[in-house]
Amino acid sequence: MNGGAVFGGMDAGGHEQVIYCHNPDIGLRAIVAIHDTTLGPALGGLRMWPYDDEGAALTDVLRLSRGMTYKNALAGLEHGGGKAVIIGDPAVDRTEARMRCFGRFLDTLGGRYITAEDVGMTAADMEYILQETPWVTGTHEYRGGSGDPSPFTAQGAVAGIRACLRERFGHDRIGDAGYAVQGAGHVGTELIKRLRDHDARVFVCDVDPARVQHAVDEYGCVPVDSDGLFDTGAEVFVPCALGGVINPTTLPRLRCDIVAGAANNQLSTTDEGDELDRLGIVYAPDYAINAGGVMNVSLEMQGYSAERAHAMAERIEDTMTAIFARARRDGIPTWLAADRLAEARIAERATLRSTAPGTPAGAMQVPSGRH
């Protein structure tokens, strides 16, 4: 992508600001994209990935930051959407110097963008960033952080599944359905644990055999391979691994009634979302059902409370119910209903901003207890 493509990409996605961060001595090349701060300072993760070129990194950060605007809006957060990417291989490029350098660049934004852990990052990297700026979440508990978000993501997903069951079967008894879980990683395992607490039948598949074994030994799941995953007879398909899992190859194989899991970007394109709707399969829009994690980290900026984070994650059940109601009212697929609800909240807040004085969006006080 050439330089002229930056404004083009921003125009197409409706982005507010893109910041390039470059320190050749340290070898840091990072891009921060702030999509929309109508609801408040942008919040979204920092990803490190060995992009083929900077055009690919820009495309990714523009896409991801826009997604965060929708996710944060629907989650009811006082945050807009943003994201950052560092071009590099996490296996070798995740150094203290680079992370602290990124932290210094982040500090210059004065809280317009707040970062968090994403693909390729660890809590330890967030700690390095915290050395340089308070505008980082997902640090360890002893630093006033919220720790691993996965339990909150899983809790929110279970709350969302209850709404899906009601929509499809008219009841919300978790234990009365079977679940085919793809991916027994951090969030998958937390979800499995909660489903098994209800004595649900849970099938599990992971490319890592040790993770499958753990789910079998610890929680009594039934192991299946990636092919068998579609033939379990489970009513609920639960993607908790990679994106793009609902695609033209997998769609004809789906025999489930509900698709509801924590993975990001489950639909390879929105066409698949339309097709799920046509097939009568209830689809829980991914960014709505997996928002428990971002709800959790957002509380760090206000003084963290696990109790509040749990209560917020439970609200995902209501959000999902509202999505289904909107989809029915407008005769549209659920992915589009979620988008419309998110856009409506942003539009309402934009109106509010023009009529009432208050804290300007995008500006924030340094959170207490940090620096």
Give the span between the Cα atoms of 257 and 179, in whole angstroms: 10
Considering only residues 18, 241, 246, 309, which one is a binding residue for ligand NAD as defined by CB under 6 A? 241
Only one of the segments 21-29, 34-42, 262-270, 351-359 lies at the binding site for ligand NAD (rule: CB under 6 A); that segment is 262-270
Q: Judged by CB under 6 A, how many residues of this single chain contact ligand NAD? A: 24
Residue 207 Cα distances to 52, 194, 227, 242, 267, angstroms: 25, 22, 12, 11, 20
The CA angle 73-355-294, to the nearest 5 degrees, is: 15
| Cβ closest to ligand NAD, residue 294 vs residue 346 | 294
Only one of the segments 31-39, 121-129, 213-221, 260-268 lies at the binding site for ligand NAD (rule: CB under 6 A); that segment is 260-268
| Cβ closest to ligand NAD, residue 132 vs residue 206 | 206
Residue 33 Cα distances to 30, 81, 82, 94, 177, angstroms: 10, 9, 6, 20, 41
- Using CB under 6 A as the binding rule, the residues of this chain from 151 to 180 that contact ligand NAD are 153
The CA angle 253-254-259, to the nearest 5 degrees, is: 155
User: Does residue 333 bind ligand NAD (CB under 6 A)?
Assistant: no
Considering only residues 27, 90, 185, 244, which one is a binding residue for ligand NAD as defined by CB under 6 A? 185
Sign of CA dihedral 14, 8, 113, 81: positive
Considering only residues 46, 159, 262, 364, which one is a binding residue for ligand NAD as defined by CB under 6 A? 262
Q: Which of 15, 29, 35, 83 is catalytic?
A: 83
- Using CB under 6 A as the binding rule, the residues of this chain from 194 to 223 that contact ligand NAD are 205-208, 211
Q: Of all residues in this chain, which one has the CB nearest to ligand NAD in the complex?
A: 185
User: Does residue 320 bind ligand NAD (CB under 6 A)?
Assistant: no
Considering only residues 41, 67, 183, 367, which one is a binding residue for ligand NAD as defined by CB under 6 A? 183
CB of 71 to ligand NAD, least distance (A): 9
How many CB atoms within 10 Å of residue 241?
21
User: Does residue 272 bind ligand NAD (CB under 6 A)?
Assistant: no
CB of 177 to ligand NAD, least distance (A): 20
CB of 298 to ligand NAD, least distance (A): 13
CB of 188 to ligand NAD, least distance (A): 5
| Cβ closest to ligand NAD, residue 109 vs residue 262 | 262
Is residue 83 flagged as an active site residue? yes
User: Does residue 143 bind ligand NAD (CB under 6 A)?
Assistant: no
Site string for ligand NAD, 275-314 (x = CB under 6 A): ---------------x--x---------------------
User: Does residue 250 bind ligand NAD (CB under 6 A)?
Assistant: no
**Residues involved in catalysis:** 83
Residues that bind ligand NAD (CB under 6 A): 149-150, 153, 182-188, 205-208, 211, 226, 240-242, 262-264, 290, 293
